[in-house]
A = this chain, B = another copy of it.
Amino acid sequence: MNARRKFRREGEERRRQDLIDATLDSVAEYGLQGATLRTIALRAGVTAGLIRHYFPGKEELLQEAYAALVGRMTEQAKAALVMEDASPRQRLAAFVTANLNAPIVDRRVFSLWATFLGRANADPALARAHREGYLGFRDEVEAVVAEVLAAEQRKPDAGELRRHAIAINAIIDGLWIEGCLAAEMFSPGELAAIGVNAIEAELGLTPQKGGNQ
């Protein structure tokens, strides 16, 4: 009796990923305070002590988890931009639509985003991780906007371009938040439609017949 628990050895990268995923799950469900090493380990199917074999401490685990989250979010968001043979305007619309539907609009992701961002004030490492992801996102927006306006024969100066990008970024972020916090208040696709309309109005694009395809 009192037999020692059976276990399997996993590859290093696999185990690290499992621990990071378990961390994100725990934070999303119980918050930062509820995400203890024991909770995380339980969810990952290991014992708490193992975590220190892969991470110097809890803080580093949390930082890596946040970095992973930001990485996945921006990766998914940008993925919608790689459409070949599409007009800039269509690509912008597709980008907005992708960012205002599942899986990006998601309560769990929002909960994680807010939780970590709340600590960014006190933790420079988290603040940096956020800043990098955010600026990358906005650069992407600015690039597409430039293409859209160029296709319309318009030549905005740098300041105008920047202000458009800021506004469009705000529209996407704001709608994303509304969708995450109260998904049941919107019909499917409604947020995306509102977003595309608002953004095309911001850019002064003339509405296309049939709404927006």
What residues of chain B lie closer than 8 Å to A108, measured between beta carbons? Answer: 121
- Which DSSP category, helix, strand, loop or mixed, fits chain A's interface? helix
Task: Decide if A174 is an interface residue (CB 8 Å cutoff).
Answer: yes
Chain A interfacial positions (CB closer than 8 Å to B) = 28-34, 107-108, 110-122, 130-131, 134, 163, 166-167, 169-175, 177-178, 181-182, 190-191, 194-195, 197-198, 201-202, 204
Rounded to whole angstroms, the CA-CA distance of A178 and B175 in the bound complex is: 14
Besides A31-B118, A107-B121, 19 more A-B contacts (Cβ < 8 Å) are A29-B122, A111-B122, A112-B118, A115-B118, A115-B119, A117-B118, A131-B181, A163-B190, A163-B197, A166-B178, A169-B178, A170-B194, A170-B198, A173-B173, A174-B175, A198-B202, A201-B201, A201-B204, A202-B202
Which of B28, B30, B34, B175 is close to A166, meaning CB atoms less than 8 Å apart?
B175
Rounded to whole angstroms, the CA-CA distance of A198 and B114 in the bound complex is: 25
What residues of chain B lie closer than 8 Å to A190, measured between beta carbons? Answer: 163
